[in-house]
Amino acid sequence: MKYGYFDDLNQEYVIDNPATPAPWANYLGDPNYGAIISNNAGGYSFETSGASGRILRYGFNNFDEPGRYIYLKDDKDGDFWSLSWKPVQKDLKEYKSVCRHGTGYSTFISEYKNITSEVTYYVPLDKQYEVWYVKIRNNDNIDRKLTCSGYCEFTSDPYYEQDLINLQYSLFITKTEYSNNILRQLINENQMDINKDSVKQRFFALANAEVSSYCGDKNAFLGDYHYYRNPVGIIKGDLGNFDCFNYTACGALSTKIKIKAHQEVKLAFIMGNKNEEKARIVLDSYKDINTCEFELETLKKYWHSRFNNLQVKTPSKEFDSMINTWHPYNCFMTFTWSRAASLVYCGLRNGYGYRDTVQDIQGIIHLDPEATKDKITFMLSAQVNNGAGLPLVKFNHNPGHEDTPDDESYRQQTGHPAYRADDALWLFPTIYKYLCETGDLKYLDKVIPYANKDKDNVYSHLKKAIDFSITHSGKHHMPAGLYADWNDCLRLGEKGESVFVAMQLYLAINIMEEFAEYKKDKDYLAFLKKERKQYQKILDKCFDNDRYIRGYSEKGKIIGNRESEEANMWLNHQSWAIISGLADKKTADIILDSVERILNTSYGAELMYPPLRKDLYDGYKAICYNAGNKENNSIFLQPQGWLILAESLNGNGNRAYRYYKESCPAYQNDNA
């Protein structure tokens, strides 16, 4: 079914049927202040960390609620609706709703009872708060009297788990206060005289209109046995001027507006983490409501300019939409947030995953090489002096002074008990691509500290990464799988071995040979050539007729044996046999044909096949998932890119393009 379309002229995705099968979300903001908003205005906001800096509450697996809601009530007949379809959910035969997800903003346009409303949610460039810019137009031939109300639901504690789980604490630490168009939430206010930094202060304000009533208490706003779609405060047309003392705080502000026939009014709700003085300064900056127009135009120009380094025009409008706007935009989002905040990652990851972040850098090297250089340097400073990467890099990472998985303190704080086999190996293709894009070969000489202690130049950091993989090997002399490789459900341990990681190491050695030649490091170059030949022989033995095996378990069981009843064909390392330069043309043709025959579907290639149901072996945790889900035989988007790259490198452009279309949102737009 089709729910929307790509608007290439405005670089927006337009959702004209709000009843999507799942929330379709957009990102707002930057690393300092982030927000997620769905096509029905659901989502949450946070400062720096979605885990420990949460501002707005969101109920995962809870019908995409609560959110950033704006209600309109007709004061004459008492009818009310919301500017996004949810939460009120008026009959779509009478109510029209369109969501336009743009680059750093989302706009909702609704039409109901001769009233056209528009709200644009955005975070102004380089600011740490968000704006809900509202326009309401009266299309009627008579004047209309309306009540406009904005609603947000504050967390009781910035720590996601504290807010939702530790209720015996979090229900008794919050309160609200109202003054002159600003409603403030205060958390742990009693500690103000002891430690000001421990007191959290949020605000919800109204610009270009006078507040007629307010409410800081969620229960008072909703009313007994009412919900977001029918709050008592909205039904009454008066929020009651309630403050919150304990339990659950909210921000709700109403204003009475009279709109002449065929006229328009503008106002803005503003929300963020600020004390009263700073909140007042922010609010005062919107005395001229047209400030919002200027900020939005600035934001659009900023984002669109970031895509300028690569623009294409081809016979395929779908391809052009993705390459020119949506691929780079999404790559910038993952570059900024890694996997730290989404509608799937609920806030448990309080930092950057090493492997994820280093891979995410690759997506924008050609668009913003300076930003990627800074992030590469940051991730190198999160490499341990034994060559491995920190599995989780904290947002407040302190190079040279961090604990590691060898320390109990790190394991307790991050929940990561051991090193991963692949983390530091992602540095090689990322740094190689950066150097190829920029020609900045002097970067190899830049001195960067390790996470825990000592420092080295980039070239030596990479030497350490190769050494870690070589010295952590199993009995077949391939890299040990350790706590996990790319597949988090494949726990091969210190004795089990990963063919995927061995192919990553093979690519790393190839890249490092080029660097060693540039550095005139003859002894190390000779060592690398010897190791490459050895790994060629080792990996040749892993070829099983028409595929490479996946590896060995700690007890020596072959994973991905073609004779196995289950999980006998795996995707990623088949692609990497070509990407790494390991497979010759004959072998590449064979394994890629096997991938097409066994793994491919109309929506992309499966991660492995057949799914696991009963063939249990040590270290494979994906058996916990239903067949066809997650690591147990589902379709992951990231590996499609590797398969497309492998087919392209092997000269199969048409098949690569077919794979691209199978997994690309623009080509699947009518099949949502």
Q: Report whether 463 contacts 425 (CB < 8 A).
A: no
Say which residues have a Cβ less than 8 Å from residue 525's Cβ, sequence separation at least 6: 513, 516, 517
Of the residues 75, 488, 521, 615, only one is catalytic, namely 488
Strand-pairing partners, residue 265, are 136
The pairing of strands 493-498 and 551-552 is antiparallel
- Of the candidates 130, 355, 363, the one whose C-alpha atom is nearest the C-alpha of residue 251 is 130
Q: How many residues does the chain have?
A: 672
User: HSE (CB half, 13 Å, CA atoms) of 90?
Assistant: 19
Say which residues have a Cβ less than 8 Å from residue 396's Cβ, sequence separation at least 6: none
User: Alpha-carbon distance 399 to 402, whole Å?
Assistant: 6
Helix (H) or strand (E) holding 111: strand 105-112
Question: Which runs of E-coded beta strand occur in 343-446?
Answer: 351-353, 392-394
C-alpha separations of 538 from 230, 472, 497, 585 in Å: 66, 16, 12, 18
Q: What one-character DSSP code corresponds to residue 256?
A: E
- Of the candidates 118, 134, 132, 98, the one whose C-alpha atom is nearest the C-alpha of residue 13 is 98
- Of the candidates 55, 62, 114, the one whose C-alpha atom is nearest the C-alpha of residue 86 is 62
Is 488 an annotated catalytic residue?
Answer: yes
Q: Which amino acid is at 495?
A: K
Helix (H) or strand (E) holding 110: strand 105-112
User: Alpha-carbon distance 218 to 226, whole Å?
Assistant: 11
- Of the candidates 533, 578, 573, the one whose C-alpha atom is nearest the C-alpha of residue 549 is 573
- Of the candidates 124, 128, 81, the one whose C-alpha atom is nearest the C-alpha of residue 105 is 124
Say which residues have a Cβ less than 8 Å from residue 465's Cβ, sequence separation at least 6: 383, 387, 388, 424, 425, 427, 428, 508
User: HSE (CB half, 13 Å, CA atoms) of 307?
Assistant: 20
Instruction: List residues with catalytic annotation.
Output: 488
